[in-house]
Amino acid sequence: MAIQVSVIGSGAEHEARAEEVGRLLAGRGCTVVCGGRGGVMAAAARGAKSAGGTTVGILPGTSPLDANEWIDHVVVTGLGHARNAVVAASGNAVIAVGGSYGTLTEIGFALVYGRPVVILEPGLEVEGVPRAKTPAEAVELVLASVAR
């Protein structure tokens, strides 16, 4: 089974970085897990696919048609925002790219479940969570955490 890394976050200004994170993760053989919809989620999945990777999208709604076109495997939760708990738990590690309140819940769940988290700069401020300056550094940090 491949290492799974959840890429979370939101914000149009963060999409290029999210795409780069997805591309680098796929290049390292990781499966990219995300929330399956648009914005940062779509960018991370698109990046992964551009590098020949595999993607899992964990949707809040009840229709698989809500998934963006770069999702290989669709998980349809019907749980609304509570699906954030599933996105966080389903990564062996988590990278946050931008984001707002929903991302805050995902970072919280990642910490609750003991998943290593890295926040890519610029991003949310959460005490005690390591930060990376570049997508490459974020990927290195989470992979080092998973290896430990």
Within 11-50, the residues that bind a second copy by CB under 8 A are: 31
Q: Where are the alpha helices (DSSP H) in 5-134?
A: 15-27, 40-50, 83-89, 101-112
Q: How many residues bind a second copy, per CB under 8 A?
A: 43
8 touches a second copy (CB under 8 A): no
End-to-end CA separation in angstroms for the chain = 17
Within 121-140, the residues that bind a second copy by CB under 8 A are: 124-127
Q: Site for a second copy (CB under 8 A): which residue of 7, 109, 135, 139?
A: 109
Q: Site for a second copy (CB under 8 A): which residue of 72, 122, 131, 134?
A: 72
58 touches a second copy (CB under 8 A): yes
What's the rounded Cα separation, in Å, for the pair 109 and 6?
12
Stretch that binds a second copy, among 9-17, 21-29, 60-68, 130-138 (CB under 8 A): 60-68
Run of H or E including 138: helix 135-147
Q: How far is the CB of 2 from a second copy (least distance, A)?
A: 8
Q: Site for a second copy (CB under 8 A): which residue of 22, 26, 77, 98?
A: 77
What's the rounded Cα separation, in Å, for the pair 82 and 21?
24
**Which of 90-103 are b and which e, b meaning 16 or more Cβ less than 10 Å from the residue's Cβ?**
bbbbbbbbbbeebb
66: amino acid identity, one letter: D
Write out the residues near a second copy by the rule CB under 8 A: 1-2, 4, 31, 54, 56, 58, 62, 64, 67, 71-82, 84-86, 89-90, 92, 101-105, 107-109, 111-113, 124-127
